[in-house]
Amino acid sequence: MAFVGDLALYRLVGNGHFYTTDCNECVSVIQNQWRYEGTQCHIASADALGLAAFYRLLGNGMHFYTADEQEKNNLVAGGWALEGIIGYVSPAQAVDTVPLYRGLNPNDSDHIYTTDLYELNIAIQSGWVGEGTAAYVSRTQRETAQKFCKPSMP
């Protein structure tokens, strides 16, 4: 069965990178002077066989996203706040998925999540550290999916 995401994962940048599947939250963050960078990829809104929860955590003023249950538990044990599940992703390569790469800025602990290997490599050349694949996601969207959030740019 092919993985097809029905939630857009919006990417914003301000004090670090921020990702959300909630259009209202996206608009609110933009109103707080964050720059909207568009839809990064698509993830599933509901759990299904073979999918993993994609968690959002907050610690040290930065957001962090993971589909790794042990990584999430270690961060929570270390004092990070679990903000919840923002969607579901494939933990392994599946039909119609692409890697969602994760990179770390060692200067401020910001993380970038991207499906664009070229973008990750540019970040690495600028001093970021590649952390591998965070999950596998869809670049396509189910026909019955939510309407895209098209916030106005500040």
**Residue 143 confidence (pLDDT):** 41
In this prediction, residue 49 carries a pLDDT of 86
Regarding beta strands 62-66 and 98-104, do their DSSP bridges make them parallel or antiparallel, or are they unpaired? unpaired
pLDDT (0 to 100) of residue 140 = 62
* pLDDT for residue 48: 87
In this predicted structure, what is the pLDDT of residue 6? 84
For the chain, give the secondary structure using H, E and C.
Answer: CCCCECEEEEEEEECEEEEECCHHHHHHHHHCCCEEEEEEEEEECCCCCCCEEEEEEEECCEEEEECCHHHHHHHHHCCCEEEEEEEEEECCCCCCCEEEEEEECCCCCCEEEECCHHHHHHHHHCCCEEEEEEEEEECCECCCCCCCCCCCCC
Residue 91 neighbours by CB under 8 Å, 6+ apart: 50, 51, 52, 67, 68, 135, 136
Query: What is residue 38's predicted lDDT score, i.e. its pLDDT?
Result: 85
**What pTM value is reported for the model?**
0.88
The CA distance from 19 to 85, in Å, is 12
- Report pLDDT for 149: 61
pLDDT at position 2: 59
Residues of the chain with pLDDT below 70 are 1-4, 140-154
Provide the residue ranges of all domains of the chain, joining segments of one domain with +. 7-137
Query: Which residue is it, tokens 């249950």?
Result: 69
pLDDT at residue 144 in the model: 37
For residues 144 and 151, give the distance between their C-alpha atoms in angstroms, rounded to a whole number. 21
Quote the pLDDT of residue 145: 39
